[in-house]
Each structure stands twice: as C-alpha cells, then as structure tokens.
Amino acid sequence: MKPAPFAYAAPRSLDEALALLAEHGDEAQIIAGGQSLVPMLALRMATPGILVDINRIAGLPGLLEDDAALTVGPCVRHAELLRHAGRHRHWSLIAAAVREVAHPGIRNRGTLCGSIALADPAAEAPAYALALDAEIVLSSLSGERRVPARKFFRGVYETARAPDEMITAVTFPRPAPGWRFGFQEIARRHGDYAIAGLCAGLRLEAGRITEVELVYFGIADRPMRAPQAERSLLGEPNADAVKEAAAAAGAELEVEGTGESSAALKRQLMRVLTERVLTKLIVGAPGQ
C-alpha cells in the first residue's frame, strides 16, 4: 500500500503551477487536500508522473463572500466552508451537505475545489454546486474561463477541465429571496459515499412555489436534475404534488446501479428522499 514513485513540485505562484500543467499535461496531477487522491495513489489506481502541490501558491483566493456571491478558492477546506456556511441561512444547503462529507479529519484537509475536480458521481459537492448554479473558474496559461456547473460534469470522474487547467475558484451566486433548501442522503454508514442523495430547493413567492431545483446524486454518472418532477411541484405547496414529484423523479431519469445497490433500489430511495425532503420543506409554507 505505498504509492508508485512520482515527481513532486510545490510551485510558489499560480503561473509556475500552470506552466507545470502545460508542460506535463496528462502526467501531472494537482494535489491540494489529497483526501481522494492519496488513497488512489496508495492503491496504485492513480500513477501520475508528477504531483503539483498547490498549497504553497501565494495569493490564491480563499473564502470570500459579498452580496452577490460566495467565492471558494482552491485550498479552502471543507471544514472552513462548513463553518462559514453554518453561519449564514442562505447557505443552509451547503452546510447540510458538507456535514455529510466523510469525517472531521477528512474535512479538515479535503477541499471543495478538489471534490469538484474529481467529480465523483456519489459525492455531495458536485450535487450542491449544480443545485446552487455554481460556476467553476478554470485557469490556464492562455487565460481564464468560467463554466457553469450544469456544463462542467460530464460523467464518472469526467469534467470540462482540460489537463492544462486548474480550478482557481468555485463561485456560488447568493440565492434570491424566497428560496429554501433541503438535503438528505442515504449511506450505509455516516460519512460513506451516498447510495442516493438529494439536494432540493424551492422558491416561494406569495404562497406559491415559483421555482424548483431537484438534484439527485449517486444515481447516475453525474448529479442529475429531474425537470418533470420539478415542474409537478410548481404552484400551491401540497402533499399530492410531493407524491407526484417523488414518483416522477425515479421514472424520468436513467438510473444506474452501483456495487450492491441496484437501479431499482436507487429509484426507491429517490422516492423516499423526495417525499422526506420536500414534505419537510413545504411544512410551514403558506397554504399548508
């Protein structure tokens, strides 16, 4: 259980890091928290030629919130994000989701940007990034581009990031007034990857649900929205619509089984999660 040999570089500036990525391409692997990467190295599932350690780079963005958005830099640990999100009602979805990311010792070191870059389909970060309409900021020697989360995740460990690009921030636009969020996942043990999970958001205006976001994860090759289920919830909040949405979600999405969990089990869990999370969300909503 020791990694295969690799070269190691700890650049002091972003330009140096990007030059290393440009030079080494697919052979280079960025390390920040390393909480997913180092196990893969130990198991020799990953055998990069060179590790580019970005922890020593001066001047990278940290965690920054203004009225418009929350910006999370590449070395911001899950634990720091959780502390911040826990203090702000409008980031209740992030707080609820990050609490389920592995365990305290892992959250102290693992990063949001790393989870986004890895794009594990059962992980929380890609799901809440999608639900909150986050943007992924990618930097390379040729400049910077911003990719919305809905276009970033392409499959199991597959993203829109090119080998010479580094995620230099993930930005979350602050939700408009009226949005409320719910989160739940089902895992065999606390901190394990989810068998299935749900990030749900709905916007209430004058007692009516005007917008809905349902993002399921752990059920396909990437986090997925369920548009039909979302539409069925618009209007007066009511229990029948919740049942309808719960039935629709499992039916409209292409669900894939993983390991011991069949597609049928995951569909059933999607139904359960939808009912639980949405029932809680609409309790206390006007009209109920």
Partner 1 sequence: MTAIANDEPGLEIETVVNGAPVRARVAVRQSLVDWLRDDLGLTGSHVGCEHGVCGACTVVVDGVCVRGCLMLAVQADGASIETIEGASASGRLAALQEAFYTRAALQCGFCTPGMLLTAAELLAGDDKPDRETIREALSGNYCRCTGYQAIIDAVEAASTSEKR
Residue keyed to tokens 């993983």: 258
Structure tokens at 263: 């597609």
The CA distance from 107 to 17, in Å, is 24
Q: Which stretch binds partner 1 (CB under 8 A): 13-21, 65-73, 137-145, 173-181?
A: 13-21
141 contacts partner 1 (rule: CB under 8 A):
no
Beta bridge partners of 72: 63, 170
What are the CB-based long-range contacts (under 8 Å, 24+) for 241-246? Answer: 242/274, 242/275, 242/278, 242/279, 242/282, 243/275, 245/214, 245/274, 245/278, 246/270, 246/271, 246/272, 246/274, 246/275, 246/278
Work out whether 14 is an interface residue with partner 1 (CB under 8 A): no
Q: Which of 41, 125, 137, 212 binds partner 1 (CB under 8 A)?
A: 41
Q: How far apart are CA 25 and CA 49, in angstroms?
A: 10
Is residue 248 a contact partner of residue 224, using CB atoms and an 8 Å limit? Answer: no
| CB-nearer residue toward partner 1: 20 or 214 | 20
34 binds partner 1 (CB under 8 A): yes
Q: Least distance from C-beta 39 to partner 1, angstroms?
A: 4
For tokens 């390991």, the residue is 259
Please tell me whether residue 155 binds partner 1 under the rule CB under 8 A: no
Of the residues 1, 58, 68, 206, which one makes contact with partner 1 according to CB under 8 A:
1
Query: By C-beta, is 11 or 74 nearer to partner 1?
Result: 11
Q: CB 7 → partner 1: shortest distance, Å?
A: 5
CB within 8 A of 87, min separation 6: which ones?
none
Instruction: Show contacts with partner 1 in window 90-109 (CB under 8 A).
Output: 102-106, 108-109
Residue 260 touching partner 1 (CB under 8 A): no
121 binds partner 1 (CB under 8 A): no
Binding site for partner 1 (CB under 8 A): 1-12, 16-17, 19-20, 31, 34-35, 38-39, 41-43, 50-51, 53, 55, 79, 102-106, 108-109, 189-191
